[in-house]
Amino acid sequence: MVSYAHTFGVQVLVTLNTLLHDEEYPQAVTLAHKLYEIGVDALIIQDLHLLDFDLPPIRLHASTQCDNRTPEQVAHLRDLGFKRVVLARELVIEEIRAIHEAVPDIELEAFVHGALCVCYSGRCYISEILANRSANRGACAQFCRMAYDLLDANGNEVPDEEGKPIHQRYLLSLQDLDRSAYLNELIEAGVTTFKIEGRLKDADYVTNITAYYREKLDHCATGRQNKEHRPIYNRSFEPNPEKTFHRGATDYFLHGRTPHMANWGTPKSTGEYIGKVLETRGNILRVRLEKGVTLHNGDGLTIGGEGFNVNGVDGALVKINKVPESRYSEMPLYRNLDVEFAKSLHSERRIPVDIVFRETEEGFTLRIGDHECHFPYAKEPAKNAEKAIDTIRTQIAKLGDTPYIAREITIDSKPYFIPISVLNEWRRKTIL
């Protein structure tokens, strides 16, 4: 994995950010050395006692579990040798800017997308207290995604804004973070790295969300990076964060406290809003869809906290796979699985390389990017010079399933006859 990532100029950071028991430190240190030996670029850690052991000379990042909220904490971590800190999600933009101004010689990483915890990272103990499962050891029981009643001091259920009792609702389940509209602002405040939360997310989510933020970054980071040597990225879809795991969106505390950050209806993915359910008749929904929305067999739908699959569509009538528990009328309709969108999720990344084919005294040299090989070979002048040069050019440019794509091809050689099979073998050996 490290070798593959490095081919594309991508760093591999490994989380070792769990609190450790005394008997676990030797194993963790051994693991750190093994990770360093295979080329891992940095370790993300929480347990500062690891620094008292013989760690390899690997770059260290301070996990958000370290509760990085103040300039004093960040300066302390810098003095301990950390090169980057992952900031607490709860900071407002002014606090981020203040940390950068106070400690400009350390990288700041900030969350921009994904699941939110109702408590400060590294400072949530509800799982440990109620289930003896420590969130600081990767064993959170996810109590914030469970249903609760809200009671007053006398044990009576408190009514909501509509006067209905708050009974078995997901009061602590926050919507998902989405700060895609504020990337420039975060960069100007001193953030050097954006972090997308992705624990237990599937490949569709990763493909969609990373493409979405890559597109946003390309629009806001003009002049900040040299794009000449960046991989060429092609995709067959238009990224949309609402079309993969999505609980709704909030920018959280970035510009101060915002209302309705929790999704009381469900802790699961609601997906994109696509219209309204006008009425239910058994397992048939009569719907009014938003303009441009088309449903497909197999699509996933959510109404309130219930989920369904589409089994057929006839105009405004949608057949679903089961009868709803409630009779829904004038309710918002969401789609949390668009099967056609999922099918379209394909992307590829290719590294542009220059190719040079050069004649030598003993034979030929082929260089593809940074890869170069020398091939002794008896030279036979070609009968058709133009065809011989074209054959060489065509064959050495066939990079196929490799991560590379030919950018500029230079042939510094007289026209010789070289069999296609030989040229292919030279190309394969060079690119290995």
List the domain boundaries for the chain: 2-143+174-243, 271-344, 347-431
In the predicted structure, residue 228 carries a pLDDT above the cut 60:
no
Per-residue pLDDT tens digits for 390-420: 999 999 999 988 999 999 999 999 999 999 9
Residues 347-366 pLDDT 10s: 889 999 999 999 999 999 99
The predicted-structure confidence for 91-149, as pLDDT tens digits, reads as follows 999 999 999 999 999 999 999 999 999 999 899 999 999 999 999 999 999 999 999 99
Beta bridge partners of 153: none
Query: What are phi and psi for residue 224, nearest 5 degrees?
Result: -95, -15
pLDDT band at 15 (very low <50, low <70, confident <90, very high): very high
Q: What angle do CA 392, 395, 400 make, to 5 degrees?
A: 160
φ, ψ for residue 5, nearest 5 deg: -65, -45
- Topology of domain 271-344 in CATH is Thrombin, subunit H (2.40.10)
C-beta neighbour count of 63 within 10 angstroms? 22
**Mean pLDDT of the chain, nearest integer:** 94
Q: What is the pLDDT of residue 230?
A: 72
- Measured in degrees and rounded to the nearest 5, phi and psi for residue 159 equal -80, 155
| CA–CA distance, 14 with 60 (Å, rounded to integer) | 10
Q: What's the pTM?
A: 0.89
Alpha-carbon span 245 to 337, nearest angstrom: 9
Q: Does domain 2-143+174-243 have CATH number 3.60.21?
A: no
Provide the H-helix boundaries in 366-419: 385-396
Q: How far apart are CA 241 and CA 214, in angstroms?
A: 13
Give the model's pLDDT for residue 226. Answer: 52
Q: Which residues, at least 6 apart from 21, have a Cβ–Cβ distance to it below 8 Å?
A: none
Is 70 exceeded by the pLDDT of residue 224?
no
Q: How many CA atoms lie within 13 A of 232 on its CB side?
A: 9
Percent of the chain topping pLDDT 70: 98
For 356, counting Cβ atoms within 10 Å of its Cβ (0-12 exposed, 13-18 middle, 19+ buried), the class is middle
Q: Assess whether pLDDT exceeds 90 at residue 380.
A: yes
Is pLDDT above 90 for 177? yes
What's the confidence (pLDDT) of residue 79? 98
Nearest to 427 by CA among 366, 375, 364, 359: 366
Task: Tell me how far apart the alpha carbons of residues 360 and 99 are, in angstroms, rounded to a whole number.
Answer: 58
Distance CA 192, CA 252 (A): 20
Q: What is the pLDDT of residues 60-90, one digit of tens each?
A: 999 999 999 999 999 999 999 999 999 999 9
Write down the pLDDT at residue 259. 84
Q: ∠129-45-53 over CA atoms, to 5°?
A: 105
How high is the pLDDT of residue 260? 86
pLDDT value at residue 229: 58
Q: How confident is the model at residue 222 (pLDDT cuts 50, 70, 90)?
A: low
